[in-house]
Structures are given as structure tokens and as C-alpha cells.
Amino acid sequence: MFQLRSIFLIALSCAHLVSSHPLLNRANYDKAGDSHWVNIWTTMPQLVEPANLPPIPFNGSTAVFGNTTIRQTLQVSLAAQEIRIRLSNAFGPNELKITNVTIGLPERQRVGVSGLQTKTLKTVTFNGGPDVDIPNGGMVVSDPIKFPVKAQSAVMISMYLAEGQHGFAITGHPGSRTTSYLAFGDWTGAKNLTDSSVQSTDHWYFVSGVEARLPSKSSGWPDLLLARMQKHEPTSNIAVLNQAAGGNRILQDGLGPNVISRLDRDVLAQSGAEIEKKLVAAYEQIATRVHALGIPLFGATITPFGSSASSDYVQPYSSPEREKTRQQINKFIRQSGVFDAVLDFDRVLRDPQVPSQLLKQYDIGDHLHPSVAGYQALADYFPLGLFE
């Protein structure tokens, strides 16, 4: 159907635009022998609104978080023996210098607390060192940490910023629904934050992901698709290039930074109908630009991320408003004619009884990321005729 030298496959969702897209995330399938890195916790990095900056005095006169320890807790979805963390400066216009980072289990295995189980404390390193400078717009992944976690358990990350971040444009996730703690001085190794400066805030700052090294039963869906294509004569000499990088870089790398960086900022500030309008506009922009290069563009529908009422893990991305937006965007992807072909990944992975949720066997456990069986289903579904 298409004579291709290259294909761009656009599979994005409002949630995933700025976090790593599970389907197209190189970081997820950064192979390490017979294991690979899988996200077990992510949050959507965004530009923190002025009102969601930390309380004064941590919101200083020229910088935020100068001489500050930020102690934050989060809940990972899957069990692992070895993990690594991601810190984001995606929206910072200048360099973010992180001085020290530790990880540990919080007291009583609870999120939202300030106390630490000291025996579990580990120093987090970056390229072997305790400190790291994250360039403006950038993201870093820590060195692997031998740090066993249980499924759906709480983890505490403490970071100390000697200088803080200059200016007031910082990266975070205001809707953490979890309490974080702030204190002047380096308390990254402390059992508790008890200094007189301690304050709490219900936001996350800079932390954007936890990845686990898990055994590779199989690869991501692009690799599974390639395996299928190689067995099929007409497609046996077509390469599949996984252009995906972690986070929002997928679209920056492939299609130029402007559309998507603008989209991130615009989209995140608003909700519902506005998001929908902007996403549609962005898809149209992408299609125009890709088509201008004579390259066909396939659109993939956004897969479900709803949690059932009985589940003990609620996917933080899920909300009735987002589900409505997902349905509208999927309708656009299926019906608009903007794409040369539509890959209905939603239909493949959703539970026919509850279309807002992944089918149980295709759910890795966090109600957002597909399981290996889910990736296999996507690869099996992919119509190879598109390449003939």
C-alpha cells in the first residue's frame, strides 16, 4: 500500500505527551542483557504554576529551593530488585543543579510522611557521582540502584539543592495528592526532618519516574513487529526504527521541538475541550509537516488508562474528564482522514466490557502500561499490508 523508506507512527495521549509514552518509549526497552528497564512509577512533568511553587522562604527572592532538602514519597506499581530514578528539568529555562540524592523506604511504609527507615537508606548516584547538573529542558536517569521494592509500595526520595533553581520556572507535578517535606540544609541522610525550618507541601518537584530492571520475556512492540515483518516476504527488508526517546523527546526528535513543546505547555494549563482542540490542532500540524516530506503517517488510538473501582491501585492519570478527552481524540484519529492509516490500538487492548480500562491480561498492573502480552497483541494486530 505504501512505498516507504521511513514511517512515523504517532501514538500519543494527553497524559503521555509529557511523560514517557509506554508504547514508544526507548527508555522502557533499553536492553541490558536479558533484562530491560520498565517504568514502575511516572508522573507528568509540567511547568509549576506560581501558586504551586513551594511556600516562602523556599520560594526565595531570586531562586527556588536554595539550600533545601526536598523529601518526597511515591508509590511504585511493580516489585523489583534494582531500580533507577528519573529527574526532570523539562520546563526549567536554566540548569538545575542537584547536590545530593538518597532513596529509602518511608516509615510505616506510607506515602506522605517525613520519617525514614534508616537501614534502607541508599545514596543515589549519577554517572558515579552524588551530584548532577540537568540542562535546561533536560532529564537525567540515575545509575542503577540495588534497592528492592514490593509491588504497590511506598518509596522516599530525598534531594538536596545547594543553590536551588534560579528564577521561578521549575518542573514539577502539582497534583501529587501526597505530602512532601522541605527543610533548609542537607538532610538527605536524616531519619526525619525535624529542623525548625520544616514545612510541607502537597506537590512533587523534579521527580518524574522510577524504572525497574525486569527480566525480558520479550521486547517492546516495535521489536515484536519487526520479528513478524521479517517472516513476511514483502516486508522482510523494511527496517523498523524506534525513534522513541524517554518523555516528550519522542516528538521533539522526530518532528521538531516547536509544535510539541508548545503543545505541552498549552495543553497542561487547561482541561477538557481546550485540550481536545489543541491536541487536534497539533495532530494536524504534525500530519501537515510529515506529509510535506512525502512520508505517510499512521495514527494510533490512545489506549485506556482507567482503574476499576475495586482495584487497590488507582492510576493517577485517570479521570472521567480525561476519559472523555481520550474518546474524542480517538474519534478524531479514526474518522478525521488526517492519517494515511489508523492503528486502533485502543480496540486491541481495551476491555470490551469496560472500554475505559485495559483488558486484565494486557495490563502490566498500573492500568496504564501494557503487559508483554499486550505488546504482543499490538505487534500481531499491526497490518503488514500497510507496507506492501
Ligand X SMILES: *[C@@H]1O[C@H](CO)[C@@H](O)[C@H](O)[C@H]1NC(C)=O
Binding site for ligand X (CB under 6 A): 50-51, 53, 56, 59, 67, 100, 107, 114-115, 130-131, 168, 184-186, 188-189, 192, 195, 197
Give me 114's grid cell. 517525613
Nearer to ligand X, 164 or 316 (CB): 164
Least separation, in Å, of the C-beta of 165 and ligand X?
Answer: 12
Least separation, in Å, of the C-beta of 144 and ligand X?
Answer: 19
The C-alpha torsion from 379 through 380 and 381 to 384, rounded to 10°, is: 80
Least separation, in Å, of the C-beta of 147 and ligand X?
Answer: 16
Least separation, in Å, of the C-beta of 108 and ligand X?
Answer: 8
CA neighbours within 13 Å on the CB side: how many for 323? Answer: 16
Q: Name the closest residue to ligand X (Cβ).
A: 115
Give me 238's grid cell. 523494511
Q: Is the dihedral of CA 369, 375, 379, 380 positive or negative?
A: negative
Nearer to ligand X, 172 or 296 (CB): 172
CB-based burial label for 32 (10 Å; 0-12, 13-18, 19+):
exposed
Are residues 58 and 230 in contact, defined by beta-carbon separation less than 8 angstroms?
no
d(CA 382, CA 60): 52
Nearer to ligand X, 115 or 370 (CB): 115
Nearer to ligand X, 184 or 381 (CB): 184
Per-residue CA distances from 96 to 91, 138, 139, 182, 246 (Å) = 10, 9, 10, 17, 19
Nearer to ligand X, 56 or 292 (CB): 56
Least separation, in Å, of the C-beta of 96 and ligand X?
Answer: 16
Buried b (16+ CB within 10 A) or exposed e, 215-246: ebebbbbbbbbbeebeeeeebeebebebbbbb
Least separation, in Å, of the C-beta of 121 and ligand X?
Answer: 9
Nearer to ligand X, 111 or 224 (CB): 111
